[in-house]
Amino acid sequence: MDPKLINLKSLPPSKIRNFSIIAHIDHGKSTLSDRLLELTGTISEHTKNEQVLDKLQVERERGITVKAQTASMFYKYKGEEYLLNLIDTPGHVDFTYEVSRSLYACQGAILLVDAAQGVQAQTMANFYLAFEQDLTIIPVINKIDLANAQIETVMAEMEKLFDFTPAQILLASAKSRIGISEILNSVIEHVPAPKADLSLPLRALLFDSWFDAYKGIVCLIAVHDGIIRKGDNIILAQAGKQYEVLEIGLMYPNQTPTDALYAGQVGYVITGMKMVREARVGDTVYHSKQPVTPFPGFKPAKPMVFSGIYPVDNTEFDLLRDAIEKLTLNDASVTVEKKSSTALGLGFRCGFLGLLHMDVFKQRLEQEYDISVIITAPSVLYKIKYTNGKQADIENPSEFPEPNYIDEILEPMINATMITPKQYLGNILNLCESKRGTQVEMSFLGEERVILKYKLPLNEVATDFYDELKSFSSGYASLDYEEAGYQPADLVKMDILLNGVAVDALSLIIHRDRTAYVGRELAEKLKNVIPRQLFEVVIQAAIGAKIIARERVAPLRKNVIAKCYGGDISRKRKLLEKQKAGKKRMKQVGNIEVPQEAFLTILKK
């Protein structure tokens, strides 16, 4: 064991600094974490260190952080030994919940901004998250060695938006190892030590947990007061259960056991728990015979987007169920409900924090468990007020009631913040208007960039809004959003009928103004993917009894009059009439085989 770990007791809380790194996606958080770990000797500089704290395959492939990661470091500054606890957080808007709960365990944050890209939407969101929690914020401009770095412009943006003076802003390049020691020195000088007291009873905050195949549930805790030792009996306030501490230690950067954790320190605890649901994020840990006042728990993550997940091969349902169970052990923010579809068989209806969250979950299913899945078009949670005064939440079109029972439909709204270069402003205004958006505010950030604030229906954003925003702005625009409650909307259920029979899996909840356009588009797509039968297939998009779009798949035709060489016309007519009657009878009793490709074409928006 490292001799520094044995002397944890001798470190008073005044020599501890807990901080996180927050930034927009792809501004260099993980690279900066690697450099800090190297500088403090936590990992060797002689090995190739890239995304050391990003443990998942999907994180390494995409170059994004999905789950917040913690590491402890020891650093000598002016002859004194300091213990630094670093939390590397995700940058994408879908994982804001991961960021907010990680900040609870910190007293300071490094706000990282790319010298070439400048302040982005998520930079602003993360700044306000840290500001609301009263953290000390250290502004850093990263990637200053890039050829297209605009240091003065970015400094002016940070001064205008966040009131930082140029003297406060540190310049660095994590890749080129420029300014790393200055960042660490600034953390020690400016981030306050945790307000902790060793003499008080144990009171610790559980701020993250994950499942380990060999050890069970691993809980990350920030010890506010007291001492927690191996062998102690502890209670989790919300769960109300008692556990014995089997292992305790620091993330250095991997799990490194110690004898105890002291007030002000951040580390992990293993108690033999079997379910992540027992380790609720935001729970308070205390000794069984010394109850304390629990921390105000933070709100559980609320799913924003819902989607069906079905195995491509129905025989793999049990494998899919096991894989989803294992994945949700590590990601408690996913909600799972078993569903059955007439078209796709048995599967699950899952709730996600956003579209990237959904995409990452699907990629992990396919990579880590080798299962091919169909994921249906995302939908959101609507509130329906019935004429009898009752209210219900629905997210699946199959649960949509008949119009005569509905008094009012409420749809979820979001407040979206977009930052874009001004030359793309017209395109983005048109995009927001086409998605039924309402402009709230528009302001200029410097001479070249604009901050747009819009109120948008989540349903419109949950499909292809982010992709369109990127394509209309040549990749330069950035997006951040937060919930903005519910508001009434004129929504209807659109059914897709094949020869008069509604196919549940293809139904949609949609705004009345867009029904004609979407109905025609879906009918046309289906016409191209449904194979021709021996009888005519009529594809219709309908709202209630009203047909708004129609396409026809012509039948395969056998030439029954090929054997007639001349003779009376009545012979040919008799054969054609007989064929016509047969086709009509076949249409009434024939099943239309809708292939998986048809669902993939429609459902993968």
What DSSP character marks residue 183? H
Question: Which residues, in sequence order, are CB contacts of 37 under 8 Å at separation 6+?
Answer: 43, 49, 52, 71, 73, 86, 253
- 52-61, 321-330, 467-476: least confidently modelled range: 52-61
Q: How far apart are CA 585 and CA 588, in angstroms?
A: 5
Average pLDDT for 138-151? 88
Question: Which residues, in sequence order, are CB contacts of 189 under 8 Å at separation 6+?
Answer: none
Which two tokens mark 191?
């981030």
Q: What is the pTM of this model?
A: 0.73
The predicted structure's pLDDT at residue 605: 44
Query: 577 pLDDT band (50/70/90 cuts)?
Result: confident
The predicted structure's pLDDT at residue 526: 84
pLDDT tens per residue, range 344-393: 778 888 888 777 788 788 888 888 888 888 777 777 888 999 888 888 88
E strand or H helix that includes residue 541? strand 537-543
pLDDT tens per residue, range 243-280: 888 888 888 877 888 888 888 888 889 888 777 667 77
The predicted structure's pLDDT at residue 466: 77
Query: 592 pLDDT band (50/70/90 cuts)?
Result: low
Q: Is the pLDDT of residue 1 over 60?
A: no
Q: Is the pLDDT of residue 290 over 50?
A: yes
Which two tokens mark 237?
């306030």
Average pLDDT for 49-59? 53
More confident: 139 or 464:
139
What percentage of the chain exceeds 90 in pLDDT? Answer: 3
Q: Is the pLDDT of residue 188 over 80?
A: yes
Q: How far apart are CA 93 and CA 113, in angstroms?
A: 16
More confident: 17 or 594:
17
The predicted structure's pLDDT at residue 455: 92
Q: Helices 96-103 and 121-132 sit at what angle, rounded to 10 degrees?
A: 30
Other CB atoms within a 10 A radius of the CB of residue 340 amount to 10
The predicted structure's pLDDT at residue 448: 80
> Could you tell me how far CA 242 lies from the centroid of its own chain?
32
Sheet containing 373-375, strands listed edge to edge, beginning at the edge strand earlier in sequence? 335-341, 345-352, 305-311, 373-375
Q: Is the pLDDT of residue 428 over 50?
A: yes
The predicted structure's pLDDT at residue 537: 83
> β-pairing, 16-23 with 80-88?
parallel
More confident: 312 or 65:
312
Contact 384, 406 (CB under 8 A): yes
pLDDT tens per residue, range 542-562: 988 889 999 988 887 777 777
More confident: 221 or 275:
221
In the chain, what are the domains? 3-190 (3.40.50.300), 203-287 (2.40.30.10), 305-375 (3.30.70.870), 382-488 (3.30.70.240), 492-603 (3.30.70.2570)
Q: Is the pLDDT of residue 124 over 70?
A: yes
Contact 367, 384 (CB under 8 A): no
Q: Is the pLDDT of residue 604 over 50?
A: no
Nearest to 555 by CA among 529, 531, 532, 578: 532
Q: Is 184 helix (H, G, I), strand (E, B) or coil?
A: helix
More confident: 462 or 144:
144
The predicted structure's pLDDT at residue 89: 74
Which residue type, as a one-letter code, is found at position 321?
Answer: R
When the pLDDT of each residue in the chain is averaged and rounded to a whole number, the result is 80
Q: Is the pLDDT of residue 183 over 80?
A: yes
Q: Is the pLDDT of residue 101 over 80?
A: no
What percentage of the chain exceeds 70 in pLDDT? Answer: 87
**In terms of C-beta density within 10 A (0-12 exposed, 13-18 middle, 19 or more buried), how is residue 146 classed?**
middle
Contact 411, 486 (CB under 8 A): yes
Q: Is the pLDDT of residue 3 over 50?
A: no
